[in-house]
Amino acid sequence: MPELLSDERLDHLLGKEGQIIQSPTVFSYSLDAALLAQFAWVPIQQGKLVDLCAGNGAIPLFLSYRTKGTITGLEIQPRLVDMAERSIQMNEKQDQLQMVEGDVKEAGKQLGYGLYDAVTCNPPYFLANESSNRNASEHYTIARHEVLCTLEDCIRSAADLLKQGGKTAFVHRPERLLDIVTLMRQYRLEPKRMQLVYPKEGKEANMLLIEGIKDAKPGLKVLAPFIVYEQDDTYTLQMRNQFNV
């Protein structure tokens, strides 16, 4: 069992047997990470994957239950890299998962160009100047706001890392859909699959999942809506089936 710092706790990975080290003062993964890890295409057997903006390693850990490929998490904040590395050790996944401390903007230079089968990314959602959404914690500000990397940085780096025909998946806010599609096409990532996530039936979508393939032909498939909660705040059947909760 890894040693926990005073502000850390052990949480379960949603629907999995594994656990993850989290901190309310530094970083805790949200449902968007779990949904992205389920939505993204992964090679079942061998393959090389990268998760950009990896935070405390939630998405690499979730992906490890779906693929036997190797997964690299890239994260710029040393404290989060340390948390993720201890979670990887705790779950005995050192042979499959590794964390790298580095800047998303330099991902290709640091990890290698055109080498990867799949790239996932849960990027900062808010523009740097969206002050109403800024958090008092520097760690959360970096994770949630485009202060150290922009949406364009994330999409460009995903394209740099991918092999031709490789797949990338992002989770973001629905209001950024046109920005996302425009940037994906600019960097040769053709949008191929999309799903909107709704907190409840009758509410507006609050998450967007989108997949692109490098140098693919046009043709976007829009999946059925994903609804998280019933009106009584219990999980929907769709949610329970997806995560075995």
pLDDT of residue 149: 86
Asked if pLDDT for residue 133 goes beyond 50, the answer is: no
- Between the two ends of the chain, the Cα-to-Cα distance in Å is 25
CA distance 241 to 38: 12
pLDDT of residue 2: 77
pLDDT, tens digit (0-9, with 9 covering 90-100), for 73-126: 999 999 999 999 999 999 999 999 999 999 999 999 999 999 999 999 999 875
pLDDT, tens digit (0-9, with 9 covering 90-100), for 51-62: 999 999 999 999
Q: What is the mean pLDDT of the chain?
A: 92
What is the torsional sign of CA 100, 102, 103, 105? negative
Q: Which residue segments constitute the domains of the chain, with CATH numbers given?
A: 13-243 (3.40.50.150)
More confident position, 137 or 86: 86
Asked if pLDDT for residue 15 goes beyond 80, the answer is: yes
Mean pLDDT of 135-164: 74
Q: Are strands 116-121 and 48-52 parallel, antiparallel or unpaired?
A: parallel
Number of H helices, E strands in the chain: 8, 11
Take residue 50 and report the two structure tokens written for it: 């990268």
